[in-house]
């Protein structure tokens, strides 16, 4: 991938270019920021730029042997680490076992979420992790001499998902890196990474994609009218993943909206029997789907609160049309007095689901608490 193929992020791109052209490339870079902002695309473009045999001051050439291999993700000096899962209790999974699926996913688009990646590799009710077995693979790959390029480059996608053993092994390698080695860590939750690793990386905060750049990219990708593309770009708040989902009428978003509407209505009516049925349905969806639903619900609460307190200011709302249709009737129940508590309960439920708690108990407890909070207006 070339820098010219990255959507927006011109300031970050210029910073990365300058690091290479001035020969001041850090051996460990951390690109951190929210989902869908192009961190992985930036890492891929930067790695290709570093290794390009005929790069200009602004971009890789895209045609030299190195670039050709980078475009296919098969360069022998380019390595990847990413969350995977155990196919059976006896296996010790490493990223290399899923490299074919990874290349397919990235070739389709480098803008994707963890949940989309896990769905792509067939995860149902497990959480993706970078297991302890990955540590030996990292050491083996990076202790070898580079094959073709000056640098060996390892891109670690979502290092916050690393097992502690792997994290500690990585710390030792970052402290004493093999010669001509570059680590590119791509993180969405850097606060979950070991502070000792953070302190040894050059930290680059990658913001959400600029609305104008995202709108232009959507128009080009989907041949959308500029007004529609701009509306979707504004609704997605700089998240290319969400923007693509909105354009493609993502089934999961529609399903999560239906679940959110059902939960809010039943909680307000205090229909405990129907809430119990709702819990059974959502509890059977799998942990990753439950976490995505809770994140979706948090965003809906935020948007409903904004709608409630900002009458006459539609430009600051970020909702799809079907979400706005429900919010037009529902927003009066989300106020500054109860919104923080509702958001807190959704966040707590997400934490407990992530910690492998019993989904039925967690979701039913959440529903009962919402039944109380929605009436506290």
| Residue 213 near residue 186 (C-beta atoms within 8 A) | no
Q: What is the pTM of this model?
A: 0.72
- What is the model's pLDDT at position 198? 92
- What is the model's pLDDT at position 371? 94
- Give the contacts of 150 (CB within 8 A, at least 6 positions apart): 50, 51, 180
| Residue 201 near residue 29 (C-beta atoms within 8 A) | yes
CA distances to 41, 51, 59 from 2, rounded to whole Å, are 9, 12, 6
* CA 375/CA 270 separation, integer angstroms: 10
* CA 51/CA 30 separation, integer angstroms: 19
Fold of 3-205: Rossmann fold (3.40.50)
SS3 31: strand
- What is the model's pLDDT at position 377? 60
Residue 91 burial (CB count, 10 A):
13
Q: With residue 184 as reference, give the H or E element that holds it.
A: strand 181-187
Q: CATH class for domain 249-373? A: mainly alpha
Residue 130: φ, ψ to 5°: -100, 105
* CA 331/CA 333 separation, integer angstroms: 5
Nearest to 134 by CA among 159, 116, 110: 159
- What is the model's pLDDT at position 106? 97
Sheet with 152-157: strands ordered across: 78-81, 152-157, 181-187, 28-32, 202-205
- What is the model's pLDDT at position 259? 96
* CA 124/CA 184 separation, integer angstroms: 29
Nearest to 77 by CA among 184, 201, 4: 184
Residue 17: φ, ψ to 5°: -60, -50
- What is the model's pLDDT at position 237? 86
* CA 170/CA 238 separation, integer angstroms: 31
- Give the contacts of 376 (CB within 8 A, at least 6 positions apart): 337, 338, 341
- Judge residue 89's burial from the number of C-beta atoms within 10 Å of its C-beta, 0-12 exposed, 13-18 middle, 19 or more buried: exposed
What does the DSSP assignment read for 105-170?
Answer: HHHH-S---HHHHHHHTT-SSS--BB-TTHHHHHHHHHTSPPSSSS-EEEEEE-GGGB-HHHHHHH
* CA 139/CA 133 separation, integer angstroms: 11
Look up residue 107 and give its two tokens: 């070739």
- What is the model's pLDDT at position 348? 96
What pLDDT tens digit does each residue of the chain (377 aa) get? 999 999 999 999 999 999 999 989 899 999 999 999 999 999 999 999 999 999 999 999 999 999 999 999 999 999 999 999 887 765 778 999 999 999 999 999 999 999 899 989 988 667 889 998 998 888 888 888 888 888 999 999 999 999 888 898 888 888 888 888 999 999 999 999 999 999 999 999 999 999 999 999 999 998 888 888 888 888 788 999 989 988 876 678 889 999 999 999 999 999 999 999 999 999 998 888 899 899 999 999 999 999 888 765 556 677 777 888 899 999 999 999 999 999 999 999 999 999 989 999 999 999 999 999 998 76
- What is the model's pLDDT at position 273? 95
């Amino acid at each position: 991938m070339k820098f010219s193929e990255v959507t927006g992020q011109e300031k970050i791109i210029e910073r990365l270019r300058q690091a290479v052209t001035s020969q001041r490339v850090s051996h460990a870079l951390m690109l951190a920021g929210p989902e869908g902002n192009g961190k992985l695309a930036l890492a891929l473009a930067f790695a290709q730029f570093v290794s390009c045999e005929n790069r200009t001051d602004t971009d890789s050439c895209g045609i030299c042997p190195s670039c050709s291999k980078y475009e296919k993700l098969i360069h022998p000096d380019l390595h990847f680490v990413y969350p995977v899962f155990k196919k059976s209790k006896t296996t010790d999974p490493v990223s290399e076992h899923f490299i074919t699926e990874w290349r397919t996913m990235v070739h389709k688009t480098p803008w994707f979420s963890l949940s989309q990646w896990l769905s792509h590799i067939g995860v149902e009710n497990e959480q993706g992790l970078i297991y302890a077995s990955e540590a030996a693979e990292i050491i083996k790959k990076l202790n070898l001499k580079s094959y073709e390029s000056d640098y060996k480059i390892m891109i670690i996608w979502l290092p916050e998902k690393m097992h502690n053993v792997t994290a500690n092994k990585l710390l030792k390698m970052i402290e004493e890196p093999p010669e001509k080695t570059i680590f590119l860590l791509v993180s969405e939750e850097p606060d979950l990474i070991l502070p000792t690793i953070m302190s040894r990386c050059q930290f680059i905060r990658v913001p959400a994609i600029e609305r104008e750049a995202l709108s232009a990219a959507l128009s080009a990708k989907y041949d959308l009218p500029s007004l529609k593309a701009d509306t979707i770009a504004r609704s997605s708040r700089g998240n290319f993943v969400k923007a693509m989902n909105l354009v493609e009428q993502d089934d999961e978003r529609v399903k999560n909206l239906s679940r959110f509407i059902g939960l809010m209505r039943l909680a307000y009516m205090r229909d405990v029997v129907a809430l119990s049925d709702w819990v059974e349905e959502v509890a059977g969806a799998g942990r990753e789907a439950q976490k995505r639903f809770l994140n979706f619900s948090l965003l809906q609460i935020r948007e409903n609160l904004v709608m409630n307190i900002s009458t006459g200011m539609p430009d600051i709302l970020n909702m799809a049309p079907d979400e706005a249709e429900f919010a037009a009737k529902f927003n009066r129940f989300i106020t500054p007095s109860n919104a923080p508590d509702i958001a807190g309960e959704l966040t707590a439920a997400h934490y407990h689901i992530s910690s492998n708690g019993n989904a039925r108990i967690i979701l039913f407890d959440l529903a009962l608490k919402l039944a109380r909070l929605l009436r506290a207006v």
